[in-house]
Amino acid sequence: MGSAVQVSDQHFGRRIKLQDLRIFIGVVHAGSMGKAARQLGIGQPNISVSIANLERTLGVSLLDRRPQGVEPTGYGRALLDCATAIFDDLRQGLGKIRFLADPTAGEVRIGTTAVLGASFVAATIDRLSKRYPRVTFNVVHRPEQLLRELSERRLDLLVTWRLIPIADERLDFEHLFDDRLVVAVGAHSRWARRRALELADLVNEPWVLPASGSWLLSAAIESFRMCGLDFRGATVVAGLPDTRISLLATGRFLTILPASVLRFPTKRQGIKVLPVELPVSRAPVGIVTLKNRALSPVAQLFSEYAREMAKPLAKHRE
């Protein structure tokens, strides 16, 4: 197609429909018109007509058609950002209306990791839901997709560790507390009553650690390396923190955990923190949001409660 034509606001109002924008978003995310048709429950000819209407109205090509599917052009990516913001603003506006009508209800969509989701986030939700029982929570655990889903406005906010500087200028990081890494065992472990230990004393013990790709595993391996120790690997690799904690109860295994796991939602009496100093020992936890995007009233409420939950931990920051 040729260059984009200039169109007035009235022209946009007459020609561009929300349904066409919704279909366009679905096609881009699905990667093909056929797949989008199945996901949206709309006939593929209608999908094609909607995309053609948008391209004709804007005077530009929005999609590159290829044998393996479709990809947005530069114009398409610009429209995708715009359409995503439109639907997010609409959802936020409707949410504010519902909140004004009933300030005790609403939904917040939180992205987090499995570890923080089972500890700090769960504790925050528990406290907030006691005060506002009609608020609903959608908690997403997909570490590799969280930033993308936040950027696409599918999530309101993230609660996560800031392991590297956030280079994306679209994002804000609000520090809540520094999560301290500890070596933990079950209360019946032979190591539980030792008052003085070094990591070298434990290197050949049976360890249960997270799966490859986890920053906790990287921190554990780096701690052994910085201590000059040859770590042969974990006896058990388990992605879920509850699995690792359950194995500690046998008294045989050791693990490395963030201290927040042992504090939230309630203190775990069956777990003992060993007096071992780890070279890699802290990671900041905070709330990640999109700049220039107003949080919904319910998301703001969650953030306020998260700050309150974090205060005791922040006071102990060294």
In the chain, CATH 3.40.190.10 covers: 87-177+284-315
CATH superfamily to which 87-177+284-315 belongs: Periplasmic binding protein-like II (3.40.190.10)
Residue ranges for the chain with pLDDT beneath 50? 1-7, 318
Tens-digit pLDDT profile for residues 40-70:
889 888 888 888 888 888 889 999 988 888 8
Give pLDDT, residue 67.
83
C-alpha torsion 140→142→148→150, nearest 10: 20
Say which CATH class 9-84 falls into.
mainly alpha
Give pLDDT, residue 123.
94
Give pLDDT, residue 168.
67
Q: 179-282 maps to which CATH number? A: 3.40.190.290
In the chain, CATH 3.40.190.290 covers: 179-282
pTM metric for this prediction: 0.71
- Between CA 241 and CA 210 the distance in angstroms is 8
In the chain, CATH 1.10.10.10 covers: 9-84
Give pLDDT, residue 254.
94
- Between CA 51 and CA 71 the distance in angstroms is 13
